[in-house]
Structure 1
Amino acid sequence: MKTFKNTEFAYIRETMGYSVKEVAEILGKSERTIYRWENGESLPKKSLIRELKTIYSIHTGQPSKSGHNFKFIDLFAGIGGLRKAFESIGGKCVFTSEWDLACRKTYQANYECDHPVNGDIREVDLDNMPQYDVLVAGFPCQPFSIAGVSKKNSLGRPHGFYDATQGTLFFDVAQMIERHRPKAFLLENVKNLVSHDKGNTFKVIMKTLKEELGYHVDYRIIDAKPYVPQHRERIFIVGFRDDVSFAFKDLKIPDTRPKLGSILHFENGTELPEPPFTEGPEGRVAAKYTLSDRLWEYLKNYAEKHKAKGNGFGYGLFGPDDVARTLSARYYKDGSEILIRQEGRNPRRLTPRECARLMGFDKLGQRSFVIPVSDTQAYKQFGNSVAVPVVEAVASHMLPYIFKMMRTAKDMNQLEILFEKVEVYG
């Protein structure tokens, strides 16, 4: 049985699995100071204990009772996957931008918004945005053109990210970062962003964030399989305005491998019926999700044709003990990438409720995610979204460093006030 040193501070640190060195780095203190706190020789400030307790509560899966820890903005918000994750670590969303009307309908049905949901990011007035600490964005990947800076200089035209990213939606994100200088940001995209245009797109993005905007940036491609029963690789790019020693290599990926059975309708009466996704008192999946004979025959023939050519194209057939392929935005067309076996019947599509569970929007013990749109729109929305538990893991990993940035900013503000007083009264 593990024994802990006889202080609250030591208990929290050891339970979280942090070393003394890691906590010293996170809290901006010397290791000697941490040892004194652990041994009860001196006491840390209440604000630092509050930070550690907040991190601890999130680490142990308990809701934080410390109120809002920071403010963030949600760009290319979709149906709010990034927002859901950052709210789970005590963030307060103060600005949202999403151009798709159907997504906005779903977003507003699920989140309390004390601010309007803005449309096109290109029409946002940067000078009249609320103050915020963290920017999160699942920005679309668009083609970038890399122009020669020297030629632009000779013509007296702008260069840097104003030139290399002009006309892309990443440009608008970069403009916001340049204008407001948030303490941190998280950008999410498809795995192929790294290889797009032979790596040139990603090169421009990283150059913009690091060299042009001056942020300390790290990135990692993470598969959602340890979090949800789905193979879904996405790239996450994290930046901090100051060097707070954030590193993705320190992110601990769980060893768990959830199976599809955990997100499928039970169909045995133990789950409340949910029309139009299920029907009857037993809550069986509605018949409309079973493939027609014609569509099932087409998919089988299509797969055989490509198999004969040596291609891997075709449907994916899964059961409760399997892990699914990536849910895509095209799922509404035929559902071919994730079909669920049915005994004695053609396979079926996932229901939108099962998609919500597969993407981590629905969790046991929480209010079900509201799906106020058609099946077609719901499939598009979930297929375009993030796997929420993955972002929650990334956000939790960021939180100690966000606290560190907040602490630094607070200290700087106090210094500025002190200097102003010296100038006035000195």
Structure 2
Amino acid sequence: MTDKITFIDLFAGIGGFHLAFHNLGAECVFASEWDKDARKTYEANFAKISPELFKKNTNGETRFAGDITKVDASKIPDFDILTGGFPCQPFSIIGAKAGFEHETQGTLFFDIERILKEKQPKAFVLENVRNLTAHDKGKTFKIIIEHLEKLGYFVHYKIINALDYGVPQKRERIIIVGFKENVPFSFPAPLPIEKRATIKDILETGNIEDKYFVKPEIRDRRHAKMLLKTITEPSRPYITHENVSGSVTPHSYSCALRAGASANYILINNERRPTERELLRIQGFPDWFKVVVSYSGIKKQTGNAIAVPAIESVAREVLKSLRLFKEIKK
């Protein structure tokens, strides 16, 4: 019998949730990710950390599943915490005649719901884009919370910014936490300003390969647009992104990484693109984390990832609440 807290990693991507909970001593007993390249990165980095996920059973299956919609929830190992940064396609609300339980059918949230219903874990931690709270005038988010509460969970939610928790990236996300028992829980307080990372903290040292530098005409155009707003060049290093209106603003942190952004969406000193390692550092991934896909692949993967220090700060509070309740119950 072990006291180790276990979790499952749904919509796993390249393993931000996995890292966060593993860093705090929890054990991953099941994971799911359908994207082929993300699976490649995940296995390359977690085969030694969580080898049980990748061992084949007598049927040739592992605990690292592909399409979660095809996974029988009853066959998932028992666990304490469900985690997942679930994709949120537009919800198709069937209407009152179909009944409340059908409101999430056809969305990937439904798979979270059915697994929670089947396995009844002690807690869950979900992550999504900030706009989820405003989708369909707030109806989508209201339905999600109602469904989680109907399953018997005490639900907490808050929009947090990764910039406040140790990565140089303004990345606002809605975090939804639930417990089967009404345990005390608070979202983590932001780090003091002096402990927050800046772009300078994540830049690679030494010579940067020429392939990361943009053409002179791109550099000059970007620089000219920036000076329309700032008059003088700010202290280096800085990072800029060009918004949809063409405005370019320098910051000591990155805007939110995006999976589908253009090649030059963010530039360091208006001169070059971040390296693969820098993209990972912007999301709080450690330097031992292996890059096994192309630049465009890691750019997409980091754009889809969660900021590890931010979710680790939340995970720490979740584990604290679960252990506190365990002590009270003794």
TM-score (norm 1): 0.66
Alpha-carbon separation, structure 2, partners of 1:168 and 1:407: 38
Give the alignment partner of residue 197 of structure 1, picking from 123, 133, 136. 136
Matches within 5 A, 1:11-410: 69-112=4-47, 113-115=51-53, 116=62, 117-149=64-96, 151-152=97-98, 159-160=99-100, 162-210=101-149, 212-226=150-164, 227-248=166-187, 251-256=188-193, 257-267=196-206, 284-293=207-216, 295-296=218-219, 313-314=245-246, 316=248, 318=250, 322-331=252-261, 333-336=262-265, 338-341=266-269, 347-362=271-286, 368-406=288-326
Deviations 1:269-302 (A, max 9, x none): xxxxxxxxxxxxxxx1111011124544676799
Alpha-carbon separation, structure 1, partners of 2:220 and 2:202: 27
Change (3 A) 1:406 1:100: farther
Letter in 2 for 1:126: A
Alpha-carbon separation, structure 2, partners of 1:350 and 1:144: 35
Change (3 A) 1:137 1:292: same
Structure 1 gap segments, 5+ residues each: 1-66, 153-158, 268-283, 305-310, 412-426
Structure 2 gap segments, 5+ residues each: 54-61, 228-242
The answer to whether the Cα contact below 8 Å between 1:73 and 1:136 also exists between their aligned partners in 2 is yes
Secondary structure of residue in 1 paired with 2:197: coil
Tell me which residue corresponds to 1:13.
Answer: none
Shift of 1:405: 4.8
The answer to whether the Cα contact below 8 Å between 2:8 and 2:79 also exists between their aligned partners in 1 is yes
The answer to whether the Cα contact below 8 Å between 2:129 and 2:173 also exists between their aligned partners in 1 is yes
Alpha-carbon separation, structure 1, partners of 2:260 and 2:205: 26
The answer to whether the Cα contact below 8 Å between 2:226 and 2:249 also exists between their aligned partners in 1 is no
Alpha-carbon separation, structure 1, partners of 2:226 and 2:246: 4
The answer to whether the Cα contact below 8 Å between 1:146 and 1:204 also exists between their aligned partners in 2 is no
Alpha-carbon separation, structure 1, partners of 2:294 and 2:327: 45
Alpha-carbon separation, structure 1, partners of 2:248 and 2:313: 28
> Which structure has the larger Rg?
1
Alpha-carbon separation, structure 2, partners of 1:93 and 1:68: 14
The answer to whether the Cα contact below 8 Å between 2:167 and 2:284 also exists between their aligned partners in 1 is yes
Alpha-carbon separation, structure 2, partners of 1:403 and 1:229: 31
Secondary structure of residue in 2 paired with 1:104: helix
Aligned residues between the structures: 300
Alpha-carbon separation, structure 2, partners of 1:254 and 1:140: 28
The answer to whether the Cα contact below 8 Å between 1:315 and 1:339 also exists between their aligned partners in 2 is no
Letter in 2 for 1:133: D
Secondary structure of residue in 1 paired with 2:74: helix
Alpha-carbon separation, structure 1, partners of 2:250 and 2:288: 25
Letter in 1 for 2:268: I
Alpha-carbon separation, structure 2, partners of 1:358 and 1:299: 22
Alpha-carbon separation, structure 2, partners of 1:389 and 1:300: 32
Shift of 1:245: 2.5
Change (3 A) 1:265 1:404: same
